[in-house]
Amino acid sequence: MNADLNIALAGNPNAGKTTMFNALTGARQSVGNYPGVTVEKREGFMNFENLRINVVDLPGTYSLTAYTQEELVARNYLVNERPHAVIDIVDANSLDRNLYLGLQFMELGIPMVLALNMMDEVRRSGKRIDTKKLSRLLHMPVVETVARTGEGRQELIREAVACGRKRQGEWKPLKISYGPDLDPVLLDMCSLIEAAGFMSDRYPARWLALKYLEGDIQIRHLAAQAGEIGEQLAGLREKTENHCRITLEASPEAIIADYRYGFIASVTKQGVISSTGQKERIIFSDKIDRVLTHRFFGPSLMISVLYLMFVVTFRIGEVPMGWVEAFFTRLSAAVSDLTNPGLLRSLLVDGIIAGVGGVLGFVPLIMVMFLGISFLEDSGYMARMAYMMDRVLRIFGLHGCSVMPFIVSGGIPGGCAVPGVMGARTLPSDLEKLATLLTAPFMPCGAKVPVFLLLGGAFFRGSAASVLFWITIGAWVTALLVAWVLRNTVIRGEATPFVMELPPYRLPTLKGICIHTWERAWQYIKKAGTFILAISVLIWAAMTFPSLPEEKMVSFEKEQKRIAALAESADDEKKTEDLQALLRDSRNRQAQAALRYSLAGRIGTGLEPVSLLAGFDWRSNIALIGGVAAKEVIVSTLGTAYAMGGESGESGLAEKLRKDPHWNVANAVSFIIFVMLYSPCFVTIVTMAKESSWKWAAFSMIYTTILAFALAVGAYQAGIFLGR
Amino acid sequence: MNRQRLCLREMAVNQRGTICSVKAEGELGRRIRDMGLVPNTEVTIVGRAPLKDPVALRLRDFTLSLRNNEADFITVEVCGN
């Protein structure tokens, strides 16, 4: 789709950029990633006076250096795509700090419109901003907006369109003074850059010189590759740095920041901002914080909020989840009616519908959970959680922001590691993000919980709930300890600065939350439709082929026919029932024999010599291997493998396991530990690979399984020893 | 009025002061400066996390939090009493 005009939205995080983007484009937007990085790219279309306008929501940043992926992405987009205009959305409550980024756009010279957002809050706080004066001083259109209500939206886009048309892609870099120590050297660097023609087709020379002095990694790297110019610039920089250190005791970087803030103050102090009253909004927010981050109430309220969120998620999520499940039950019944017994029916019903249905059944739950998480994020509470938890998580080499991925993954039982791993995006640094990604899947996700409940119910009668509690504690302890080990071995490195804004509490907009939730749910659904579908078919095939040899089939069939005939001719009811039970038993034995004969069964049997160390027989092995595809498979496969068929429920399976001579408390504990810790499911692994790399995803599969097996063997052997 | 220089870490909740110097360099220095913590900026301590770390401060009409070991790089001039 071709657009008449490209407009980019830029600004600080929490300035209401995405809210404005939603207000402008509505639902006509798409979310993807920028190539090669995990920074989200939001794009949407809107119509304005017969023009088709493409709007891009750039990632929220505080500056334009090359330190973070977000900043690099924003900068590269502006320079490479050269949009017709940039709308800089600033939080008018803290104009000075927000203009720090705006000033860097002005130094680039890109056609720009300033949106003073959250003007409703500014007005309420009794502050006045002289918009006309600001516009005159900055030489650009300035529009007052309230993104939440859409106020100023039309005017903003009109100004952006006018600005884009007038400038016709021409960039007019602003030159501000950086004082007697830097100005001369900047001039020297500029002439060098211009003479060498170094990237001057894309960036203004002065801007390159500034970034070079600021120590920008990307620019310095490019200059070094460009040959002579790199050496010349490096020489100048070194000289300047020494000079600044001796005379001013500061780095050029610090001096540049000082002068930028000085320039901003010189603009805003000229009567642009006048305060008449109390800073109401912040005071209100402070009052809430006094309770919500209080020494005692803070942590206890945090736990209550999280607990409540999960209770609500499951209570509400249960209902639509039931509908989805009922739909798939009906679908498989309908398909069974339409097809003949045999491979096709088995593929459709046991393979595809069971597999995809099992995953899609989680969609309502995930949606409700994300609704809650989006609320916590947009309201500003999430930042407080990171603030409160940082001291604890830092000990283990993590970051305050790791708390949410852990909780979403199942830190309170019932989460899901897929959104948890995706949630690790909010972490500001790669090291802590990686440590979080690699340990979050230890948490008891919703698909593992049935396994724990099954075994807890079977072997620790009446205390399944406390079993789940201790499993959760165990998962947290393991995740934190493993994170600590990883951060001190394979992902060693300095802790990232915490420096983080605590945005004032705000009531989130319904529209924003809904769009957010839907996006994430849709990503999950797409995965279920493609990846899970393929895996389901594969697993089904492994558990079906090769099928039992002819003579064994025939012998089972003969036996079943004989019993059926007897049952038909039997006269009293009791006898008929007994015979029918016998028939069921025969069918189950056939299913079990077929499973053992299949590829999956052979692998399970082949693994026994090793797996028996942890007390897993071939049937457990199949279930656990299937569980790598999706943890939901564990219980259903145990069901098949223990010849329970689909008819009787889990309570039947618990009974069967308890009576099975192979199972005892030691097996149960070892099985629980293994399921708790071993390889994340395939969907999680794919998500991890997308968020980091395939190398780390593979590492995660291997190290978790080794750890899980070692601990399971330990637990089993100890159990056997004590049981003697 | 007697003025006193101290490290941001040592400031008490609700105490106010003006930044004299920011000694942090590299990534930390950049992040601190990006958020507007530059000399001559007025800051007020608004609170501390339940475990006394990180600390929350008010500057330029917004709230920022940073860890104590990051606050160590910042010296502040306060009006003593």
**Using one digit for the tens of pLDDT, what is the confidence trace for B55-80?**
999 998 899 999 999 999 999 998 76
Q: Give the model's pLDDT for residue A388.
A: 93
Low-confidence ranges of chain A (pLDDT < 70): 1-2, 27, 31-38, 276-282, 310, 359, 462, 527-528, 532, 643-652, 724
**A183 and A159: one domain?**
no
Q: Give the model's pLDDT for residue A569.
A: 82
Select the residue from B13, B34, B57, B73 to test the A interface by mutation, using most A Cβ atoms within 10 A: B34
How far is the C-alpha of B77 from the C-alpha of B81, rounded, in Å? 13
The reply to whether residue B65 touches residue A394, judged by beta carbons under 8 angstroms, is: no
Chain A closest CA to B14's CA: distance in Å? 12
**A157 and A113: one domain?**
yes
- Looking at chain B, how many residues does it have? 81
How far is the C-alpha of B65 from the C-alpha of B71, rounded, in Å? 10
**At which of A199, A224, A249 does a domain end?**
A249
Find the domain containing B31 and state its range: 3-79
> Which of chain B's residues have a Cβ under 8 Å away from the Cβ of A75?
none
A520 to A28, A214, A422, A514, A710: CA distances (angstroms) = 16, 38, 9, 10, 36
How far is the C-alpha of A631 from the C-alpha of A625, rounded, in Å? 9
Contact by Cβ (8 Å): B78, B6: yes
**A157 and A28: one domain?**
yes
* A87 domain-assigned: yes
- Total domain count, chain B: 1
**At which of A167, A201, A235 does a domain end?**
A167
Quickly tell me which residue has 């070892």 as its tokens: A670
**A92 and A240: one domain?**
no
Q: Which residue of B has its CA nearest to A275?
A: B61
Which of A461-487 are b and which e, b meaning 16 or more Cβ less than 10 Å from the residue's Cβ?
eeebeebbeebbebbbebbbebbbbbb
* A689 domain-assigned: no
**A154 and A186: one domain?**
no
> Considering CB atoms only, which of A388, A501, A503 is closest to B50?
A388
* A386 domain-assigned: no
> Which of chain B's residues have a Cβ under 8 Å away from the Cβ of A277?
none
* A125 domain-assigned: yes
**At which of A233, A249, A265 does a domain end?**
A249
**A163 and A186: one domain?**
no
> Which of chain B's residues have a Cβ under 8 Å away from the Cβ of A285?
63
**A51 and A159: one domain?**
yes
Find the domain containing A187 and state its range: 179-249
The reply to whether residue A502 touches residue B64, judged by beta carbons under 8 angstroms, is: yes
**A34 and A134: one domain?**
yes
Query: A100 — contact with chain B (CB < 8 Å)?
Result: yes
Chain A closest CA to B36's CA: distance in Å? 6
Single out the residue of A430, A530, A478 nearest to residue A675, CA to CA: A478
Q: Give the model's pLDDT for residue A648.
A: 42
Beta bridge partners of A129: A273
Task: Indicate the pairing of strand A85-91 with strand A112-117.
Answer: parallel
Which of A497-529 are b and which e, b meaning 16 or more Cβ less than 10 Å from the residue's Cβ?
bbbbbbbbbbebbeebbebbbebbbebbbebbe
Q: Give the model's pLDDT for residue A650.
A: 44
Backbone torsion region of residue A667, taken as left when φ is above 0, otherwise alpha when ψ lies between -120 and 50, otherwise beta = alpha
**A93 and A133: one domain?**
yes
Contact by Cβ (8 Å): A597, A542: no
Cis peptide before A184 (omega within 30 of 0): no
The sign of the torsion formed by the CA atoms of A623, A624, A626, A630 equals: positive
The reply to whether residue A497 touches residue B38, judged by beta carbons under 8 angstroms, is: no
Query: B51 — contact with chain A (CB < 8 Å)?
Result: yes
**A41 and A137: one domain?**
yes
Contacts 24+ apart (CB under 8 A), A130-134: A130/A271, A130/A272, A130/A273, A130/A274, A133/A270, A133/A271, A133/A272, A134/A267, A134/A268, A134/A272
**A233 and A159: one domain?**
no
How far is the C-alpha of A617 from the C-alpha of A611, rounded, in Å? 7
How far is the C-alpha of A611 from the C-alpha of A607, rounded, in Å? 6
Quickly tell me which residue has 């000229």 as its tokens: A270
How far is the C-alpha of A332 from the C-alpha of A334, rounded, in Å? 5
Cis peptide before A180 (omega within 30 of 0): no
* A361 domain-assigned: no
Q: What is the CATH number of the domain that holds B41?
A: 2.30.30.90
**A99 and A227: one domain?**
no
For B9-66, give the DSSP string.
GGPPTT-EEEEEEE---HHHHHHHHHTT--TT-EEEEEEE-TTS-SEEEEETTEEEEE
- Total domain count, chain A: 2
Chain B closest CA to A324's CA: distance in Å? 43
Q: Give the model's pLDDT for residue A279.
A: 57
